[in-house]
């Protein structure tokens, strides 16, 4: 864990907000590229047919692995968002599996959500698809959220 000099609460809040918004922008961009586009509302029927036949040739291919990684990166981001209970996965796992394995499973799940943004960024670097740039940016920014959010939360709580 990083050791920061004591931060004033306003600076910590500003930094935390900037990191969270900085990670949300590439995630939103990636989701807009993944979801299908709506047809133009006032286009003539012939224009809609021409646009639908020309769209697949112009659009880059969609990678299902990148889509799954985007889902996991989004879940990883959601775990670090303020107000989301941190132990919800542990409670859910404890209901499903025996108590002896629940602790290790919760730890494994936490590390999975910490490492998946890096895996997604590395995967997106080496593949060519429409989600390449936003997935790299989202993966790196969510990793930054995982690194910087705990000390910034601590700086916010130390002031109260």
Q: What is the pLDDT of residue 49?
A: 59
Q: What is the pLDDT of residue 156?
A: 87
At residue 57 the predicted structure's pLDDT band, cuts being 50, 70 and 90, is very low
* Residue 13 in domain: yes
Number of domains, the chain: 1
SS3 state at 148: helix
* Residue 1 in domain: no
Q: What is the pLDDT of residue 72?
A: 96
* Residue 3 in domain: no
* Residue 41 in domain: yes
Alpha helices in 97-131 (DSSP H): 99-126
What is the mean predicted confidence (pLDDT) over 140-152?
93
* Residue 85 in domain: yes
Consecutive H or E run containing 160: none
* Residue 134 in domain: yes
SS3 state at 106: helix
What is the mean predicted confidence (pLDDT) over 37-47?
73
Residues 6+ away with beta carbon under 8 Å from 10: none
Give pTM, 2 decimals.
Answer: 0.80
Q: What is the pLDDT of residue 1?
A: 58
Residues of the chain with pLDDT > 70, as a percent, come to 84
Q: In whole angstroms, what is the distance from residue 71 CA to residue 53 CA?
A: 29
* Residue 148 in domain: yes
At residue 141 the predicted structure's pLDDT band, cuts being 50, 70 and 90, is very high
Domain that holds residue 34: 9-158
* Residue 51 in domain: yes
Q: What percent of the residues of the chain are helix, what percent strand, and what percent coil, each to the nearest 5? A: 75, 0, 25
């Amino acid at each position: 864990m990083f050791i920061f000099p004591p931060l004033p609460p306003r600076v910590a809040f500003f930094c935390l907000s900037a990191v969270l918004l900085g990670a949300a922008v590439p995630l939103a961009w990636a989701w807009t590229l993944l979801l299908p586009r709506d047809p133009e509302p006032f286009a003539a029927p012939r224009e809609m047919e021409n646009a639908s036949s020309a769209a697949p040739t112009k659009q880059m291919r969609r990678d299902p692995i990148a889509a799954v990684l985007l889902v996991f990166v989004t879940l990883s981001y959601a775990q670090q968002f303020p107000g989301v209970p941190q132990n919800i996965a542990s409670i859910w796992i404890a209901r499903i599996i025996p108590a002896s394995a629940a602790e290790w499973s919760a730890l494994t799940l936490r590390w999975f959500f910490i490492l998946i943004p890096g895996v997604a960024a590395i995967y997106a670097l080496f593949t060519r698809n429409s989600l390449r740039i936003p997935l790299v940016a989202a993966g790196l920014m969510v990793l930054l959220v995982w690194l910087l959010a705990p000390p910034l939360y601590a700086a916010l709580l130390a002031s109260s």
